[in-house]
Chain A
Amino acid sequence: MAALVTSWLVAGASAARAQVTAEPSAVVFPDPAKFAHGLYTEGEVGAVAFFGKAGDAVSPGFAIGARVGYDLFRWFALQLHFVGSTHQLTGDNPLNGQLLQTYQGLIEGKLTYRFGQTSIFGEGGVGVERLSTNALYALGIEPRYRVGFVAGGGAGLDYHSLSRHFSVGVRGGFFVMAELTSSQELMATTYLRYTF
């Protein structure tokens, strides 16, 4: 019986292989160094909401925007940002239901920290904003104003696809408008980026 068991174990044993004596070198996949960098464009959609005085009279609205930028380094970029949003006036006033659009153009700096396919970034900039109407002035909410300076920044999360050109992400930002002394805006968008 013992001989039978022994012969079964010997017959069933797998083939011997060479012993590993050192750890294999780490393989990074995908290799972030192979992601394209340099000139890039982004298209974004999302929402813009006003806070402060204007927040009581302006509802959150749909936003659409675009960025054109250039990665000076893997971790730093300069970009131009254009975004427009449309809002409906709310509140206890005769202009309830009227439409208001905002248009912004900013120049921004962007810092990025990448780990694998994912990166986090922070950005900020200054620029110009224009409101389509003087509705906030007519409501007595803000001083007479149509065009003014805007400044702000935000942060986001980027996920790079296996394509070397495309990535997607989400971002949020907070902006103050120089001429809207009591109002600010919060912007949250999702975007698609193409790096050439």
Chain B
Amino acid sequence: MQGRQARHQVRPEVGLPITYALSLLAPLALGCQGMNTPIYFASPEPILAVTGANDAMGNPPRIENGMTLQFRNPTDAEQKALDMQTAALGFDAPWIQRDHVHIELTYQVTYTPLPNQGPDDNPNDIPQFTIGVDGANQYTKYDSNIVAMTLSQGNNDAPQYIPLIPVTPQTIAQGQTISGTVREDDFNEAELDLDAIGRWMAPFNAVLINNSQVNPIGLSMVPANVVIPALIEIDVSFTANRNMKCTYDIRVRDDNDQLLHDTTNTLFSPTPTLFVPPAMM
């Protein structure tokens, strides 16, 4: 009886503990709001693997694979908004925009020496690998192989690959595994460069070699209010001078839920134009 009386007495104080208790749920509620809900895509099979043996031309082996991110078509309301945005800009507003689709690539390279291979003690032949990323947006596809063919026309020099995103060559020891990340800001730069090349007549070598935030050379034709398309295709090339394999995952943050995962939606299937350097045209 005493207990019941006391319980009635504390009721005016009930609000504060309830507030405290509910405040504990706040992190859960925030966590469920899609603040950190990336979607991962595993690298396609077969994985990138080379033995390190040079090709017939004496060049290090180079292997590639890639994936196309599948997006849905816009709804009627979204298409209407897109059309309004296009009218306001005065040029085409892409459906898959860089501001709403954020891409990151994480990779892992492992060097497994061949059974009869000795130590890597030649300072002029250090085990190393190189990764490059090409791709396509909904308007333009960039392939560094095409560019390399252009640059090598008329000479017998080794192909010079200029990927959309170059990853600094790294040395690696026998049995070692190296992990790395091509960050979202790397993709942001590549997406700007590709749009500049494809839609705004920018010289491809100038914009690819220079970081636009340091030296915006070649970007003079790009409108200040440009809406940059995101990559919808990601192609990864791997070069190594030893027996190595590379696995990677693509991480996508899809702000507007544009990735195709609802069976009632239809696939957005643009046909980007392959970029061909002027010398080959």
Give the interface of A toward B (CB within 8 A).
33-36, 38, 41-43, 64-66, 68, 82-84, 92-99, 101, 103, 130, 132-135, 137-140, 164-165, 194, 196
Q: Is the pair A68, B21 in contact by a Cβ cutoff of 8 Å?
A: yes
B175 within 8 A of A: no
- Pairs A–B under 8 Å by Cβ, sample size 14: A33-B3, A41-B21, A42-B21, A43-B21, A65-B28, A66-B28, A83-B28, A94-B43, A94-B106, A94-B108, A94-B179, A95-B106, A98-B106, A133-B40
How far is A134 from B36 in the complex, measured between Cα atoms in Å? 12
Evaluate contact between A34 and B3: CB separation under 8 angstroms: yes
B10 touches A196 (CB 8 A): yes
CA gap between A38 and B6 in the complex, in Å:
13
Size of B's binding interface in residues, CB under 8 A: 35
Does B88 lie at the interface of the complex (its beta carbon under 8 Å from any beta carbon of A)?
A: no
Chain A residues with CB under 8 A of B44: none
B108 pairs with A93, CB closer than 8 A: yes
Which residues of B are interface residues toward A (Cβ below 8 A)? 2-3, 6-7, 10-11, 14, 17-18, 20-22, 24-25, 27-28, 31-32, 36-43, 106-108, 177, 179, 247-249, 251
Q: Which residues of B contact A165 (CB under 8 A)?
A: 10
Question: Which residues of chain A have C-beta atoms less than 8 A from B106's C-beta?
Answer: 94-98
Answer whether A140 and B21 are a contact pair too, CB < 8 Å, given A98-B106, A103-B31: no
**CA distance in complex: A93, B42 (Å):** 10
Q: How far is the CA of A34 from the CA of B1 in the complex (A)?
A: 9
Given contacts A82-B25, A101-B31, contact A196 B17 (CB under 8 A): yes
Chain B residues with Cβ below 8 Å from A139 are 42
Kindly identify which residue among B3, B32, B38, B177 contacts A130, using a CB–CB cutoff of 8 Å: B32
Known contacts A64-B27, A66-B21; A36 and B41 CB within 8 A of each other: no
